Amino acid sequence: MDKKNIAILILPDVQLLDVAGPTDVFHTANEILKKVGYGAPYQLHYLSALKSETVTSNSGIKLQCDASIFNITTPIDTLIIAGTHPNLFENLDETAYTWLKQIYPQVNRLASICVGTFLMAKSGLLKNKTVTTHWKYAGLLKVCILKFMLTPDLFF
C-alpha cells in the first residue's frame, strides 16, 4: 500500500481530543493493516497554524508539532483541521486562511473536527457545500457565513 501523509492542523486552544482521536484512528488502522501484510501506510504529521511549532491546547498542554504552515515541505494527502474555540477565528492571522486556500487544491481530502469547519468557511472553501459542525456552534456558523448549506444534525 502506498504511504499516505495525514496532516493534523493544530490551532491555538485546540481541544486535545480533536488531535488524539484522529491519531488513535490512524494508529489503529496501521496496526490492523500491518497484521494483514500491508505495512503502515498512514504517516501522521502534526502541523502548527502558527509561526511557532509549539501550540498550547485549551487545557494548557503544549503540543510540539512536526512543522508549521510556514515551513512544511511534506506533501499532504489528507488534511484534518482540529477543533478549537470559535472565537479564535476572529483573531487568527490571515496567513492561516491564505495557506489553506493555497493548499486546498493539492490535498486529496480535507476534513475538520468540530469548529475546524469555521477555518474552512472563513477561507471560502465551503461555498455551495453541505457541512456540519458541533451542534452548540451550528447557529453561530450559519450566522457568520451564509454561503453554504448547514445541516446541524448531520453525523459523519
Supply the mean pLDDT for the chain: 88
CA-nearest of 54, 72, 71, 45 to 12 is 54
Which residues are CB-neighbours of 66 under 8 A, at least 6 positions away? 45, 46, 47, 53
pLDDT of residue 123: 85
b/e map of 16-37 (b: 16 or more CB within 10 Å)?
eebbebbeeebeebbeeeeeee
Centroid of chain to Cα 74? 16
Which residues are CB-neighbours of 151 under 8 A, at least 6 positions away? 130, 131, 132
pLDDT by 10s per residue, the chain, length 156: 799 999 999 999 999 999 999 999 999 999 999 999 999 999 999 999 999 999 999 999 999 999 999 999 999 999 999 988 877 777 788 899 899 999 999 999 999 998 888 888 888 888 777 777 778 878 777 766 654 455 556 555
Tell me the C-alpha distance between 102 and 30, whole Å: 29
- Cα within 13 Å of Cα(66), Cβ side: 13
Verdict on whether the full-model pTM lies above 0.75: yes
* Farthest CA pair distance, the chain: 49
Question: What DSSP assignment string belongs to 89-154?
Answer: HHHS-HHHHHHHHHHGGG-SEEEE-TTHHHHHHHTTTTTT-EE---GGGHHHHHHH--SSEE-TT-
